[in-house]
Amino acid sequence: MNHAMQPIDYAVFFVYFAIVTLYGYWVYQKKKNTHNDSKDFFLAEGSLTWWAIGASLIASNISAEQFIGMGGSGFALGLGIASYEWMAAITLIIVAVFFMPLYLKNKIYTMPQFLRQRYDERVATIMAVFWLMIYVFVNLTSIIYLGALTIQHMLDLPFIACAAGLSIFAILITLGGMRVIGYTDVIQVFFLILGGLITTYLALDLVSVKLGTGEGAWEGMNLLRQKAPDHFHMIFPKGKYLVDDGQGGLQDPWEQLPGLSVLLGGMWIANLSYWGCNQYITQRALGASLPTARAGLLFAAFLKLLMPLIVVVPGIACFVLFKNNADANIIAGMTENGVVKPDNSYSTLLELLPNGLRGVSLAALTAAIVASLAGKANSISTIFSLDIYKRFINKDAEDKKVVSIGRYAILIAFAIALIISPSLKNFGQGFTYIQEFTGFISPGILAMFLMGFFWKRSNSSGALAATLCSIPFSAVLKYAAPAIPFMNRMTIVFLACVALIVLFALLKPDSKSESKAMVIDKTTFRISMPFTIGMLIVISITAALYIVFW
């Protein structure tokens, strides 16, 4: 069997590329007169529908980090890693009900702007610079690295060529602004879900053929549960078994997903920080009306429930085939110099797909990567242009100049990420690495936002202390108490940051900060009946999934 890409695969991929590019150009041309309007470029103010917002949220979120990284964690840990997706569905509802009304009521366009209005210029500026550093040096770089690595395996091209190709494709979309990103993301999500489901179906069918009677995908799913029962638990007991760590050793999966702490502690901090206090995510809804924004977030919540089927189950299928020596190609693809590499699982499976379908799966993977890169780059552009350039470099800059600077920021960010992306080759499990790294900063950010939302005595000194102490607190715990799982560490650091904010409020009261407190009345969080029904459906499905796979 020839596992290389065939002409039909390239043809399918070209169709995908042409559709996205031409549609993006059409959207761009449709609103020529607004190209130099900063609110339209950065937010697509008032022009994104609820389905475009929801699709864009998922397209921006699901990237190489999920396909490769979460697929690798599916290989190593199993379905438990799906907690990031299923609990995100509940988090999106919380953000829709409690966070979004506060942002929209106060006309918030960037996260530093919120911090400036609620606290002061110091907090806003420090966080603007901080977010820019994280987005460029961690997020943008890791997406390019993981994506290029997988496409390199599929196309047998040099790494830097794959990285440059992904970056150029993303730049073409990003330079058109949020409107182009938002609407092309709808197409990206279509290809992402279609290609992802096809890959899952064929992976399960392969399990059926190799290890069963060949009756199809349903038999394949049953075989996964029979041959890897430990891979179908959401809550891990401590010390029950060990899994490959991607670096030649073994690890206890409890260290990554520590039992009930997943439901009661750190997972909430990671998700609320990511979905509620993150320019990269909230930007999609900040230009819409509240009903539209909420409907978009609810739509995204439904899509999140589907994601583990697309990104986690193929990893489990690869694990079962590998452990049962069912296919020589999988055994060869999953090891490098004798070391089992979980993050190779998705690309290894893609190489086994039939002609034509490899092109669909490559399109799905590319869609996820490019959409995520475009979203990250737009957020970098927004924060730099509005919170750095216009406030400190050229306060009187006209919209046309601000948008131009934003486009230059996009090009520079990609150039930096391309240069440093090859240095990330020492990843073990990419998804776990990224989550642990961001876990150093999430507790302080979430504490600062939540206390700023809901406690009027929170002041700028406390917010600054919490944010600046989050990383050293996390580092001290990591090296002084390495036995504490990073998810539990996030909970401890979050509580410490909240305590710092309370302490500063009590010892150093600030009347100016109190006067900036957000005005909240009982109607602020009122929700419509259709939203309530959708919310209850999402919560019920999530609860059922945890009950079945506990």
User: Other CB atoms closer than 10 Å to residue 406's CB: what's the count?
Assistant: 25
163, 418 contact by CB (below 8 A): yes
Residue 333 identity (one-letter amino acid)? G
Per residue, the 3-state secondary structure of 89-107, as one string, reads HHHHHHHHHHHHHHHHHCC
Quick one: pLDDT at residue 2?
46
Please give the C-alpha separations between residue 63 and each of 259, 369, 404, 433, in angstroms, as whole numbers. Answer: 27, 5, 27, 15
Quick one: pLDDT at residue 502?
95
Does residue 461 belong to any structural domain of this protein? Answer: no
Give dist(CA 110, CA 88) in Å, integer. Answer: 22
Q: Which residues, in sequence order, are CB contacts of 5 under 8 Å at separation 6+? A: 154, 155, 358, 359, 362
Does residue 296 belong to any structural domain of this protein? Answer: yes
Does residue 83 belong to any structural domain of this protein? Answer: yes
Quick one: pLDDT at residue 95?
93
Residue 153 identity (one-letter amino acid)? H
CATH number, domain of 344, equals 1.20.1730.10
The closest of 106, 91, 147 to 276, measured between CA atoms, is 91
Quick one: pLDDT at residue 41?
67
- What are phi and psi for residue 420, nearest 5 degrees? -95, -10
Counting the structural domains of the chain, the total is 1
Does residue 473 belong to any structural domain of this protein? Answer: no
* Two structure tokens written together for 198: 């096809």
- What are phi and psi for residue 244, nearest 5 degrees? -65, 140
Please give the C-alpha separations between residue 438 and each of 73, 139, 251, 519, in angstroms, as whole numbers. Answer: 17, 10, 21, 31
- Boundaries of domain holding 178: 7-428
Does residue 514 belong to any structural domain of this protein? Answer: no
Quick one: pLDDT at residue 190?
82
Rg (CA), the chain: 23
Does residue 62 belong to any structural domain of this protein? Answer: yes
Taking the chain (550 residues) in consecutive chunks of 10 residues, what is each chunk's mean pLDDT?
A: 71 85 78 59 68 82 75 86 92 93 83 88 89 87 84 82 90 79 78 84 90 90 91 84 67 78 86 86 77 93 92 90 84 78 80 78 81 85 89 85 89 92 66 70 92 89 91 90 87 95 88 74 85 96 92
Q: What is the DSSP letter of 523?
A: T
Residue at token pair 């459906």: 537
Q: Concatenate the DSSP letters of all residues of 31-85 into one string.
A: TGGGTT-HHHHHH-TTT--HHHHHHHHHHHHSSHIIIIIIHHHHHHT-GGGGHHH
Q: Which residues, in sequence order, are CB contacts of 336 under 8 Å at separation 6+? A: 344
Residue 32 identity (one-letter amino acid)? K
239, 485 contact by CB (below 8 A): no
329, 89 contact by CB (below 8 A): no
